[in-house]
Structures are given as structure tokens and as C-alpha cells.
Structure 1
Amino acid sequence: MSRDTSYRHWLNTTFKPFEGKQRREVFTTSSGFELDPVYGPWSVEEGLEERLGLPGEPPFARGPYPTMYRGRFWTMRQ
């Protein structure tokens, strides 16, 4: 199933049957970007998963620690 097909499948089988009256037809950010109802693997460009990596592993795009700061006390730095 392609990315676009999997999103449309989710939209038609899971989202649409339970969709109620929307507050607005389209939600946008303050920068004018239109928001989707949900984001998933189909929302990012091809190959991004490989380039993004995992937390705590190079290229450290998702943080330096595997669990990030969970379990660490708050610290204050100046």
C-alpha cells in the first residue's frame, strides 16, 4: 500500500464514519500552513525515517539521550 493510499484508506474507513460537525473546514497555523487531521508515515518525504535516526544515536536529530530527559531531575542553568 502506498503512502497516499494508506492515508486515504484510514480516512475512509476510520475517520469518516465517526466524523462529526467540524468547528472549521480547514485549520491553519499562524504562518498559513494547512493542518491535516492526523499525521503519520505518509506525512513525511521518502527516506526521512532513515535520515532522522533514533534518539541517542547519530545523527542525534532526535536528541542526545535515548530516553531524552525522562527520569532526570530538573536543572537550572544560567
Structure 2
Amino acid sequence: MSDVEVGGSTVFPDIGAALQPKIGSAVIWFNLLKSGEEDTRTLHAACPVFLGSKWVANKWICCRGQEFRRRCTLSRSD
């Protein structure tokens, strides 16, 4: 929700991605597989801000009770 001059990225080490904060932007991901198990590829962390300040907002959307609305598969990567 804010620009950062130096640092402040959100990194996803398991997939090799780093997202730099940008005012007006949003990042959304689904952290469960179709089986309802955790998708460990969504592991993420915030890097320190070295110059400037970082303002963020989090919105958690619980999907428990929704597991039977998604088609089931045998693949863990779905």
C-alpha cells in the first residue's frame, strides 16, 4: 500500500519470487491445495525496509467449509 525506496520486498523462497512494494498494488494467493492441505509453496517473508517506510494491510479469507465446493484431484500441485 506504499512505495518503498530501498528494501521491503515480499519473498517467496520456494518459487524464487520477490515482489517489490508498489503503491496501489495488491498480491493475492490461495494457500491451500484442492485437497484442503496447505500449499507449502506459498511460504513467504517480508524483507527489511532500509530506506522509507512500508505500509501494508492483510485480509485473511477463511475457506474452511468450502473444501467440497472445489473439484478433488489426486495431484498435490493443483
Short-chain TM bin: under 0.3
Considering only CA atoms, is the larger Rg found in Structure 1 or Structure 2? Answer: 1
* Structure number with higher helix proportion: 1
TM-score by length of 2: 0.21
TM-score by length of 1: 0.21
> Which protein has greater RCO, CA pairs closer than 8 Å, 6+ apart?
2
